[in-house]
Amino acid sequence: MESESYLSYSEEDTRTIGKSFAEKLSHGDIITLLGDLGAGKTEFVRGICSYFSVNEIVSSPTFTIMNQYFGNSPNGEEFTIYHIDLYRINDPKELEEIGFSECMADSKAIKFVEWPEKADTFMPPIHWQVDVGVDEEHELQRTITMMFKGEIQA
Ligand SMILES: Nc1ncnc2c1ncn2[C@@H]1O[C@H](COP(=O)(O)OP(=O)(O)O)[C@@H](O)[C@H]1O
Ligand SMILES: [Mg+2]
């Protein structure tokens, strides 16, 4: 399995790592983001959004659950990006209210999911898994691992 790890020493590093990872993404990709609260998953998505020249401020969807952004790749292709944070979901049935399955089925959009385990069996097959690991000894240090999980089913 293809995987790459990077060390981040600041939130800015994490955004830069996200921004360079974004080059690998294509229409329809689903990316799960693993890591503790405050690890830097949302910072990483900020980096992704900057690659896609998203003009809006990227904020944590902890309360809104799902945020949608519109952007463009450097070669001018349009991308819709969903950033979903399932932390506050207590029962997979609540996913229906937020339109989780419809969102995941959007074959053109790129979808980022924090706390994917909350979706249980509603979580479709993913293309990438990004793990943001916190270093116990160094407050600002993170190990970010990106793992390729599968091809897009065209
Ligand atoms: N190396 C780092 N990478 C990312 N965030 C960091 C780093 N060091 C410190 N931080 C801080 O950790 C927090 C990460 O927040 P956030 O990205 O919202 O976490 P998550 O989405 O994983 O819950 C921010 O307050 C950020 O300033
Ligand atoms: Mg977050």
76: domain CATH number? 3.40.50.300
Q: What is the pLDDT of residue 1?
A: 60
Q: Is the CB of 131 under 6 A from ligand 1?
A: no
Residue 88 lies in a domain: yes
Tens-place pLDDT, residues 19-35: 999 999 999 999 999 99
Residue 153 lies in a domain: no
Structural domain tally of the chain?
1
Q: What is the pLDDT of residue 151?
A: 76
Residue 102 lies in a domain: yes
Q: What is the pLDDT of residue 153?
A: 55
The residue count for the chain = 154
Determine contact, residues 42/142, Cβ cutoff 8 Å. no
Question: What percent of the chain has pLDDT above 70?
Answer: 97
Residue 152 has pLDDT above 70, yes or no: no
List the residue whose alpha carbon is closest to atom 25 of ligand 1: 38
Which ligand gives the minimal distance to the CA of 36? 1
Residue 121 lies in a domain: yes
Distance CA 64, CA 80 (A): 17
Neighbours of 29 (CB within 10 A): 17
Ligand 2 centroid–CA 115 distance in Å is 9
Shortest CA distance to 134 belongs to which of 35, 66, 58?
Answer: 35
Mean pLDDT across the chain, nearest whole number? 95
Residue 91 lies in a domain: yes
Q: Which two tokens stand for residue 153?
A: 């089913």
Q: What is the domain extent for residue 114?
A: 3-148
Q: Which residues pair with 87 in a beta bridge?
A: none
Neighbours of 106 (CB within 10 A): 15
Nearest ligand 1 atom to the CA of 132 is: 22
Residue 9 has pLDDT above 60, yes or no: yes
Determine contact, residues 56/69, Cβ cutoff 8 Å. yes
Nearest ligand 1 atom to the CA of 114 is: 21
Residue 88 has pLDDT above 60, yes or no: yes
Residue 101 lies in a domain: yes
Across the range 123-147, mean pLDDT stands at: 97
Residue 10 has pLDDT above 80, yes or no: yes
Residue 154 lies in a domain: no
Q: Which two tokens stand for residue 126?
A: 């993913």
Ligand 1 centroid–CA 6 distance in Å is 15
